[in-house]
A and B are shown apart, each in its own frame.
Chain A
Amino acid sequence: DAGITQSPRYKITETGRQVTLMCHQTWSHSYMFWYRQDLGHGLRLIYYSAAADITDKGEVPDGYVVSRSKTENFPLTLESATRSQTSVYFCASSEIQSDEQFFGPGTRLTVL
């Protein structure tokens, strides 16, 4: 099915472990984004990508790594998970930088 998907939908991990959240879109959108949902802040941008092999930091990039070897995939890795990274993570994509963004269903991550 066309759209934007995220996996896993739910993840529980322990402090210090590496975790990778996956994002896949079928529209061939150039732009992809990772956000985290924080109480009182709404959505905060972690990283974004303008095209394959082009990524840039957002507002809260520390502790996260991204890659984009293919247009349709944009994985987000927590190198050494901390409790403060417990959040709901949303991936989004858009055709051009100013266009509306289409959001995935979210991944709820709990770091114990």
Chain B
Amino acid sequence: ILNVEQSPQSLHVQEGDSTNFTCSFPSSNFYALHWYRWETAKSPEALFVMTLNGDEKKKGRISATLNTKEGYSYLYIKGSQPEDSATYLCAFMTTDSWGKLQFGAGTQVVVTP
């Protein structure tokens, strides 16, 4: 079992502030890194799928970077809004895990007005 670690476990952000958090994964046999947004009482929704070292993805105020050589990805939220409150999951896939995603435990973000 490969370990995908997310930090911090939770964070509180004031509305309008920017924040970022980390996903760490083993750097060997990298294939893909997923980010999902999971609101309470809903289902996880995909934000990004990243496959290339140095990749940067952006969706609105949320962006992500990927470093496959050192095994980490950052998710950034710019100008946080209350609707950004959710748990953000990252998930990692290797070249020999054949479709199996290994999820981290998530970073819970609470944005207060």
Contact = CB atoms under 8 A, between A and B. Distances in A.
Interface in A87-112: 90, 97-106
Contacts of A102: 46
Interface string B39-50: 000111110010
B92 to A, nearest CB: 11
Say which size band chain B's interface belongs to: 20 to 34
Say which size band chain A's interface belongs to: 20 to 34
Interface in A51-104: 56, 58-59, 90, 97-104
Contacts of A40: 105
Contacts of B104: 42
B99 A50 contact: yes
Nearest to A99: B49
A98 B51 CA distance: 9
A22 interface: no
A100 B49 contact: yes
B21 interface: no
B94 to A, nearest CB: 11
A7 to B, nearest CB: 14
A22 to B, nearest CB: 16
Contacts of A106: 43
B32 interface: yes
A44 B103 contact: yes
A45 B103 CA distance: 9
